[in-house]
């Protein structure tokens, strides 16, 4: 039975679950409150009834005590008027002697016959007879010539009517409250789940039409509004990533097509005439080898760019800029002996939060660009200084420079100002894009200052390790 109930509840829509859970919680809360309130009121009213009975007994005992010296059966009988005067509705007062013989009584209502019970000390109790509840109080009286018991029987008709009325009022009010909570819970759940339904519809639209769909941002500042903002931001990032990936594939396809076409042309040339012509054979082989080298470099750069885009920040790794820089410059001096590298490094530079491998890769990219695009002046300067909690690394050359309108574009993939010159130098247009992505992974920044015909200065700002 329980498993069937769980299965049924699990199949309910969230809106119905919210309404059902809210109504159930309100029902149990109201039930507990009503139960406690009912018993509290019942006890309070019962105490009131007992107080009335005790007060009546006290009045009777005071009345008979004043006549204790002359208290006789006759005096007891003559007190009927007093009994009638103090008696209430649905109440029986009687006095009987030690043998249980009733001397005087007054009743105001219909009562079940009770056996007289003489007692030695005062007591009060609750009895039930013939479906009716009553309070019975007994107290002994003693005079010079009489000894007996005062008995008061008070029916709880008013108490029972009041409690029945109270019970039905609470029941009706409880049912109305549950009904109201169910209706209000339905509309409230519907209102609360509106952003969830909108999110579902937005996902369906995105599935059908693409990444352009967004959710409407609600004015109220709550968790669902935050969910909407996060969803829209996520879709913005997904759309941006998708467009970048699409552009990357298109650019990569275009870049790969050129060397492949050149290789295909030379191989076709060799197939037609180059077999018997040594000059054509040598020229085609040299050109094919150059294009293969360029193709290999392009593939390597593409892999580096992919890795740079997927790697996360490794804030625990540190690098010593002077040591890495000297190692890179020493290797470049061997390959390019006609270039002069001048280093201006601040003393006691702190380590920077970047792996040595990535720092070395950044320096090779920047210095290689400076070498490629330098003219007669073959001096390349590298400076490094500490700025607050960061370290600024600058690479300065006296090359051809970058036109001002192109400075903001050089970090884009495959972007080259002079494609012919870049092809001649073996460039792929991916170096600065790789550098930018690596630096941003380590919470750094890169910028370029350049003037055409004068030179270029590349600034890298990396967080220092303390």
Q: pLDDT above 70 covers what percent of the chain?
A: 78
Please tell me the least confidently modeled range out of 222-226, 356-360, 384-388: 222-226
**456 and 449 Cβ atoms separated by less than 8 Å:** yes
**365 and 388 Cβ atoms separated by less than 8 Å:** no
Beta carbons within 10 angstroms of residue 166's beta carbon: 16
**Could you tell me which CATH number the domain at 12-177 has?**
3.30.450
Please report which confidence band the pLDDT of residue 73 belongs to, taking 50, 70 and 90 as the band edges: confident
Distance of alpha carbon 203 from alpha carbon 213, whole angstroms: 8
Q: What are the pLDDT digits (tens) for 304-351?
A: 656 655 555 555 688 899 999 998 888 888 888 889 999 998 888 899
**Could you tell me which CATH number the domain at 206-310 has?**
1.10.287.130
**104 and 79 Cβ atoms separated by less than 8 Å:** yes
Q: What are the pLDDT digits (tens) for 19-37?
A: 677 777 777 888 888 888 8
Bridge partners of 451, per DSSP, are 455
Q: Which residue would you say has higher pLDDT here, 327 or 143?
A: 327
314-465 has which fold? Heat Shock Protein 90 (3.30.565)
Please report which confidence band the pLDDT of residue 421 belongs to, taking 50, 70 and 90 as the band edges: very low
Please tell me the least confidently modeled range out of 87-96, 306-315, 450-459: 306-315
Instruction: Write out the residue limits of the CATH 1.10.287.130 domain(s) in the chain.
Output: 206-310
Distance of alpha carbon 327 from alpha carbon 407, whole angstroms: 29
Instruction: Tell me, yes or no, if the pTM score tops 0.75.
Output: no
CA distances from 64 to 13, 82, 91, 93, 247 (A): 76, 11, 20, 14, 112
Average pLDDT for residues 386-415, to the nearest whole number?
Answer: 84
**446 and 365 Cβ atoms separated by less than 8 Å:** no
Distance of alpha carbon 238 from alpha carbon 64, whole angstroms: 99
Please tell me the least confidently modeled range out of 52-61, 85-94, 211-220: 211-220
Largest CA distance in the chain: 162
């Amino acid at each position: 039975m329980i498993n069937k109930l769980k299965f049924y509840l699990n199949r309910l829509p969230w809106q119905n679950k919210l309404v059902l859970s809210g109504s159930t919680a309100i029902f149990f809360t109201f039930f507990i409150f009503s139960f406690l309130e009912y018993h509290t009121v019942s006890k309070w009213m019962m105490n009131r009834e007992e107080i009335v009975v005790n007060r009546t007994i006290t009045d009777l005992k005071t009345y008979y005590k004043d006549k204790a010296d002359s208290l006789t059966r006759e005096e007891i009988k003559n007190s009927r008027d007093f009994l009638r005067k103090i008696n209430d509705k649905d109440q029986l007062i009687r006095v009987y002697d030690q043998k249980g013989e009733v001397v005087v009584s007054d009743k105001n209502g219909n009562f079940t016959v009770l056996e007289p019970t003489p007692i030695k000390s005062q007591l009060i109790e609750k009895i039930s007879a013939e479906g009716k509840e009553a309070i019975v109080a007994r107290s002994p009286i003693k005079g010079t010539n009489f000894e007996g018991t005062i008995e008061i029987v008070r029916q709880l008709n008013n108490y029972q009517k009041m409690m029945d009325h109270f019970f039905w009022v609470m029941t009706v009010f409880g049912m109305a409250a549950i009904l109201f909570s169910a209706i209000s819970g339905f509309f409230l759940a519907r209102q609360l789940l509106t952003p969830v339904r909108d999110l579902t519809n937005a996902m369906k639209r995105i599935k059908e039409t693409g990444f352009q769909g967004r959710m409407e941002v609600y004015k109220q500042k709550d968790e669902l509004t935050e969910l909407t903002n996060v969803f829209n931001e996520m879709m913005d990032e997904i759309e941006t990533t998708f467009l970048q990936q699409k552009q990357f594939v298109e650019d990569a396809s275009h870049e790969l097509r050129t060397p492949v076409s050149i290789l295909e042309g030379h191989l076709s040339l060799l197939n037609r005439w180059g077999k018997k012509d040594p000059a054509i054979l040598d020229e085609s082989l040299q050109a094919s080898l150059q294009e293969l080298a360029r193709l290999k470099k392009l593939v390597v750069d593409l892999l580096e760019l992919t890795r740079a885009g997927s790697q996360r920040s490794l804030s625990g790794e540190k690098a010593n800029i002077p040591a890495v820089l000297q190692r890179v410059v020493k290797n470049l001096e061997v390959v390019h002996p006609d270039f002069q590298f001048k280093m201006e490094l601040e003393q006691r530079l702190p380590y920077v939060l970047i792996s040595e491998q990535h720092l070395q890769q950044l320096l090779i990219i920047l210095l290689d660009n400076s070498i490629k695009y330098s003219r007669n002046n073959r001096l390349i300067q590298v400076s490094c200084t500490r700025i607050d909690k960061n370290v600024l690394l600058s690479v300065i050359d006296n090359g051809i420079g970058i036109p001002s309108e192109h400075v903001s574009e050089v970090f884009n993939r495959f972007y080259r100002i002079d494609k012919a010159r870049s092809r001649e130098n073996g460039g792929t247009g991916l170096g600065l894009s790789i550098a930018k992505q690596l630096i941003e992974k380590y919470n750094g920044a890169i910028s370029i200052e350049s003037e055409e015909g004068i030179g270029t200065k590349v600034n890298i700002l990396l967080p220092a390790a303390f």
